[in-house]
A and B are shown apart, each in its own frame.
Chain A
Amino acid sequence: GQQLNQSPQSMFIQEGEDVSMNCTSSSIFNTWLWYKQDPGEGPVLLIALYKAGELTSNGRLTAQFGITRKDSFLNISASIPSDVGIYFCAGQRTGANNLFFGTGTRLTVIP
């Protein structure tokens, strides 16, 4: 099935640094979502974006819905150890609930 390309695949950063990751698709989505998954757990919704160009924040997290509707990015400011995990982007089309997931970005925060 269709897969969204996420980059980078993995990141190792120092605590306190900012993080940026992005997601691109060959097709258009009407909703972009960002999830975080901890080992042995299900993905947890971080941010949902519904409009092209939209910039939305959730605490230290900021995400944007690309103007072309084919991409999105996620920024995490002032990273802390509990930010460790795998971050997934997901796209959704109008009229359907199923999500197309990105390949994931594994984040490691070094204290």
Chain B
Amino acid sequence: KAGVTQTPRYLIKTRGQQVTLSCSPISGHRSVSWYQQTPGQGLQFLFEYFSETQRNKGNFPGRFSGRQFSNSRSEMNVSTLELGDSALYLCASSLPGAGTGELFFGEGSRLTVL
């Protein structure tokens, strides 16, 4: 069974630009979550999508947004990039039930903002 696939793996942007990251979940997984990982703040929850609807949201500004498509693939977008947005962005997929525990992560997209 193929794992969670994230693209691109690495990207460099400059302040003020916007970025879109993509995630393909494990086949059969309909819930997709996004996390930001930085050395200072650790792993922090951004948002979760299920059936093309945002089901839960972390404490991030509105510049961070996402969406999910009918095939469960998801994208997240960060607009007006700031230096502090440099991070590893991780996507995780899980079975539909909420609170079922097991989230499976992709390898991440490493964003550097200059």
Contacts and interface: CB of A to CB of B under 8 A. Distances in A.
Interface in B1-59: 4, 6, 31, 33, 35, 42-45, 48, 55-56, 58-59
A1 B56 CA distance: 14
A92 B99 CA distance: 7
B58 A98 contact: yes
Contacts of B58: 1, 98
A33 B56 contact: no
A90 to B, nearest CB: 8
Contacts of A40: 107, 110
Given A40-B107, A42-B108, A97-B56, A1 B45 contact: yes
B87 interface: no
B74 interface: no
Interface residues of A, number: 29
Given A98-B45, A98-B56, A41 B108 contact: yes
A31 B101 contact: yes
Contact of A45 (B44, B48, B56, B102): B102
Contacts of B43: 43, 88, 90, 99, 101
Contacts of A48: 101-102
Contacts of B42: 3, 101-104
Interface string B90-114: 1010100011111111111010000
B48 A98 contact: yes
Nearest to A49: B101
Nearest to B104: A45
A27 to B, nearest CB: 15
13 contacts: A30-B99, A35-B105, A41-B108, A42-B6, A42-B90, A45-B104, A88-B43, A90-B43, A96-B56, A97-B56, A97-B98, A98-B56, A99-B103
Interface of B: 4, 6, 31, 33, 35, 42-45, 48, 55-56, 58-59, 90, 92, 94, 98-108, 110
